[in-house]
Amino acid sequence: MSRLIFHIDVNSAFLSWEAARRVARGEDDIRLIPSAIGGDRDKRRGVILAKSIPAKKYGIKTGEPVGMALSKCPSLFLAKPDFRLYQKCSSAFIAVCKKYAPVVEQFSIDECFLDMSGTRRLYPDPVAIAHKIKDEIRDTLGFTVNVGIGPNKLLAKMASDFEKPDRVHTLFPEELAEKFHPLPVRDLFAVGASTADKLQGLGIKTIGELAHLDLPSLQAIVGNKFGIQLYNFSRGIDDSPVESEPHEAKGYSNSVTLEKDVVSIEQANPILLALCDSVSTRMRADGVKTTCVAVTIRSDKFKNSSRQRTLDSPTDITGDIYAIAKSIFASLWDRRTPLRLLGVGLTGITDGEDVQLSLFSEVDDGKKEKDRRVDRAVDEIRSRFGADKLMRGTTYGAHITVGKKHSAQIEEIKGKKE
């Protein structure tokens, strides 16, 4: 039985989700003006997480510093990130996809794969059902997606990156010569900037030219294992399965994919803090704690790596989780490989109380209670006035100090009430 895979990708996810919320409130659609998500306009700090199509015309790029973006477009409208909103919108569009596909794999917060193999009797026309899914997401949730259709995950994902927004594209074997091979080699999934520069320096400028290389020659350029992957990918070959996450896995996770690679600790830490803030807020809302923190990274060659740490005692404190995540990240990343994705996960969920093992438990108890009160205050204000009304620490340049026992204290929390 031939495989049929859909890849669904939200168009400018963070900005689209913020725009949809504002439109639902009767406000202007920020997708129609130069706008972006991320950073502090007044302090010109932070990075751009997403941008509108009008902003793109000014040369504004995802991942660049806010100050640089404002120098390109002084009138740029900036909205602060709201990861609780993003998780809500992500869950909503995934729920729509699960109505149509027997197996759905969430690839990141704003994209997923649908294994539609064996559904021909239900959906004789794959393009028609892709349009139906796309239109349902747009009409019911207020934001647009692209749908790529192919015989495997690679080609489906490549197809979804064709012309945007709100489009359906196909990429089947008979279409490779026309749609796939003429693309720049840097557009191939798994080819990062450094690999693209190396290949182009050798005169390999398109995916088609890469596909004409024999395997030994390609391995001599990029290495044995990566050479095999590029050899197959350039020919449209990919047999990786679509895998849904087990329903019984109890935990909280969030991840962010940036168009511009993360290349420094200074870039990574604000993103880690925002992710820890997002997952710990959701966990506290359920009245539980974590006993295990995990960090996931994805390299510019799309290699995933993860590491986790079991805690001495359960915690629900954002600062503690962030400090542990930073420590894990520092030991996981080699600081040489550019990163495209950062993720934080909390598992080992329990409703148990903290168990103090420190000789200085009285001091620790006082600090933990102080941190817990800060978290409760933050959660309450966000619940009443919206998640975007109070932002944490280094997400926007506030100072964070890390103690010897990997406990983080938010020194500055700036917010505003309506």
Beta strands 304-315 and 339-347, pairing class: unpaired
Q: What is the pLDDT of residue 367?
A: 67
Number of domains in the chain: 3
Q: Which of 121-130, 152-161, 287-296, 402-411 has the lowest mean pLDDT?
A: 402-411
Whether residue 15 contacts residue 160, with contact meaning beta carbons closer than 8 Å, is answered with: no
- The tens digit of pLDDT for each residue in 145-172 reads 999 999 999 999 999 999 999 999 999 9
The CATH number of the domain holding residue 205 is 1.10.150.20
Share of residues in the chain with pLDDT > 90 (%): 53
Give the span between the Cα atoms of 76 and 65, in whole angstroms. 13
304 shares its domain with 185: no
Q: Which residues, listed in sequence order, are joined to residue 37 by a DSSP beta bridge? A: 50, 79
Give the C-alpha distances (Å, rounded to integers) separating 308 from 70, 275, 304.
38, 15, 14
165 shares its domain with 185: no
Q: What is the pLDDT of residue 385?
A: 54
Instruction: Mention every residue, 6+ apart, whose C-beta is less than 8 A from residue 52.
Output: 12, 15, 19, 30, 31, 32, 33, 34, 35, 36
Structure tokens at 202: 């050798």
13 shares its domain with 120: yes
pLDDT reading at 39 higher than 80: no
Q: What is the pLDDT of residue 138?
A: 96
pLDDT reading at 396 higher than 80: no
Contacts of residues 373-377 at CB distance under 8 Å and 24 or more positions apart, as own/partner, are 374/319, 374/410, 374/413, 375/280, 375/284, 375/316, 375/317, 375/318, 376/284
Confidence of residue 96 (pLDDT cuts 50, 70, 90): very high
pLDDT reading at 391 higher than 80: no
Confidence of residue 417 (pLDDT cuts 50, 70, 90): very low
304 shares its domain with 370: yes
Residues catalogued as catalytic:
111
pLDDT reading at 267 higher than 60: yes
- The tens digit of pLDDT for each residue in 173-205 reads 999 999 999 999 999 988 887 888 999 999 999
207: containing domain: 181-245
Q: What is the pTM of this model?
A: 0.63
> What would the mean pLDDT of 78-86 be, rounded to a whole number?
87
Q: What is the pLDDT of residue 191?
A: 86
110 shares its domain with 223: no
pLDDT reading at 361 higher than 70: no
The CATH number of the domain holding residue 351 is 3.30.1490.100
35 shares its domain with 154: yes
Residue 175 falls inside a structural domain:
no
